[in-house]
Structure 1
Amino acid sequence: MFHAFFDFETLNGLESCLQFWDHATYIFKPKKIIVEFHNDQLASEQIRKYLAISLQKEYHQISIRRGTVDSEYLDYLMENVNLNSKLLIGAHITPNRHPNAFKFRSFEYLDAHWVTLDNLKSIQNRCSVTSANTRFTCEDINDFIHFWINSENDLIERLKITLANGVVLDTEITLRGIPNIKSERLIPSAFFFMGNENQKKKFSIGTLVLDYES
């Protein structure tokens, strides 16, 4: 995996950065390339410029961290990042109901207060989904797991959820009526559960990783 983390000033600007990228990928021939931008390091106009060029290259994941992703910025990401790649946004997101928000192969939204239970239920055939800083309760997650088990469609293979601020993780409520196996090694808590045995699905086993705001 090649994680492209460049300091534009150290590398003497965009052209040097892109040359380094091309040389590094030619030499190492990575299977996965992660491109990461920190919103607090450059002006928004510069980030958009560098991002536009980066999106023309081959990549496995685009990561946006720190600061704020406003509606215009989010729309740009939703409409230009390849849906077959992974999108990670570790910045504050201005509420925006873009139709592509849940269509990426995998995605992580680390400020997901705007994500609803209906949004989760609309996701299909996705490998990994992370939603942190949500508004979800233990009852919400229990509702979703039952929906996952009984759905005729493949939904999410691995789901990591951080519950709403102030909500204490109660596994009895969260997993009520759901046969599961808990991993004692993983922190935060990880649970594995089976889909409906009468349904032939690619994701026959689901993984739920639960955490809560301390």
Structure 2
Amino acid sequence: MCFWNIDTSIPKHKPFLIMKLPLVPFKLVTEFMDSNEIYYGEDNTFLMIEHCSSNTVLDLFKCISAVFSCPSVRWNFYLDELRTETMMHCLNLSLLEKCTGFSFMKGSLSTSLLTELMDKIPVSKRLEIGSDIPIDFKHPNALKYYVTKYNNGRWITMNDLKSIRNVGWIELKSTIFGCNDVNEFLRYWVNCEEDMLKLLDLNLKEGAFIDVDALTDQLITVRVEGASSPHFFIKAKNHKHRKFVLGHLEIDNDNLVRFSAWEAVADIHLLEILELLERKKELEEKISMIEKRENQSGISNFSQEIRKKRMHMQNYDF
């Protein structure tokens, strides 16, 4: 793209202002560039330019945005290569431009810096953090972003998961959760009166093993037979204020538990089956309560008969 490496000698020839070209000549010129000047991905959908200053990157972004329609713009910050001041400078400028998400990779984030980032970045954006996060970190927006990915999710608690509302996708690559914890979350999802999320990818804690019975304990499920890995469907109890009433639980490799919430429009028959199973369980519980009352009543009557007989015997002895 006619940028040379920083801190190297200035080229003899003045750089050609390629971004000033109209679209058709731009494409013609880039077709004749070699790999040292321009890099295309296998699907020819992205362009990568290396060894630029932060100001150059921002200027380049503005030029590209002026030439191309960019439906998705994500800024990636590598903390092992950027000073904090530079990163915050770029973040503040990028927030003024069109962007859909931010990624912070490598290195580590202090509580104060991560708090500042989450205070600044709107929850409508996509947030991905591959950097280390303090185990005691807390922020009200941590799980409110429409798409959230954390390589280190060991600081997230069950109460944090239960607070999720109306988000798209949450990915936690390392957690403190086991199968019983996931079951607790699923039972909360079933009884919640609001939509929580569309997709949750969660890796169980280190050393945990998959226990299907623990995952589905006290849940009404329909199991998908013949699948390569265990698949289950559950349903939300309250349909009044919820759009995504079908839940799909998939157990994948490497202790990955994937839970997704669906609309029931295309799977109305599955919803009906789950509703029948739910009704069946309710009737069984009612029958059990009736039998328990009858047994208690029978025991009470039997006790009264015993007392009467004892009184009769005492009177007889007298």
User: Where on the TM-score scale, by shorter chain, does this alignment land: which range?
Assistant: 0.7 to 0.9
Match of 2:210 in 1: 169
Of 176, 180, 201 in structure 2, the residue corresponding to residue 160 of structure 1 is: 201
Structure number with the higher strand fraction is: 1
1:69 aligns with 2:112: no
The answer for unaligned runs of 5 or more in structure 1 is none
Which deviates further from its counterpart, 44-53 or 74-83?
Answer: 44-53
TM-score (norm 2): 0.59
Q: Which has the higher helix share?
A: 2
- In 2, are the aligned partners of 1:87 and 1:104 still within 8 Å (CA)? yes
5+ residue gaps, structure 2, are 1-44, 257-318
* 2:255 aligned partner, one-letter code: Y
Provide the secondary structure at the position in 2 that maps to 1:87: strand
CA deviations 1:90-148 (Å, max 9, x no partner) are: 11101311122122122111101110001100111111111221100100001101110
Which stretch shows the higher mean deviation, 107-116 or 50-59? 50-59
Read off the aligned partner of 1:121 and give its amino acid letter. K
Instruction: Report matched runs for 1:46-61 at 5 Å.
Output: 46-61=86-101
CA distance in 2, matches of 1:81, 1:202: 27
> Is the aligned partner of 1:16 residue 2:56?
yes
Is the 8 Å Cα contact of residues 191 and 209 (structure 1) preserved in structure 2? yes
The count of aligned residue pairs is: 207
Partner of 1:141 in structure 2? 182
- For the residues of structure 1 that align with 2:129 and 2:47, how far apart are their CA atoms? 16
Residues in 1 aligned to 2:115 and 2:207: alpha-carbon distance in whole angstroms: 31
Distance 1:89 1:4 in 2: 23
Shift of the 44–185 alpha-carbon distance from structure 1 to 2, 3 Å rule, reads farther
Aligned match of 1:40: 80
1 or 2 for the larger relative contact order (CA 8 Å, sep ≥6)? Answer: 1
Residue of 124, 127, 148 corresponding to 1:87: 127
> For residues 22-59 of structure 1, what are the alpha-carbon distances to aligned partners after superposition, in whole Å with 9 as ceiling and x for unaligned?
12222221211111111111222222222222222221
Partner of 1:29: 69
Q: How many angstroms apart in 1 are the aligned matches of 2:126 and 2:81? A: 22
Q: Which of 76, 101, 107 pairs up with 2:148? A: 107
User: Match of 1:163, as an amino acid?
Assistant: L
Give the conservation status (yes or no) of the 8 Å contact 1:85–1:104: yes
Identity across matched positions, percent: 26
Paired residues of 1:142 and 1:175 also in contact (CA < 8 A): yes
Question: Hey, what's the Cα distance between the residues in 1 that align with 2:231 and 2:85?
Answer: 40
CA separation of 1:126 and 1:50: change in aligned 2, threshold 3 A: same
Give the equivalent residue in structure 2 for 1:179.
Answer: 221
On the 8 A contact 2:191/2:238 being kept in 1, the answer is no
TM-score w.r.t. the length of structure 1 is 0.85
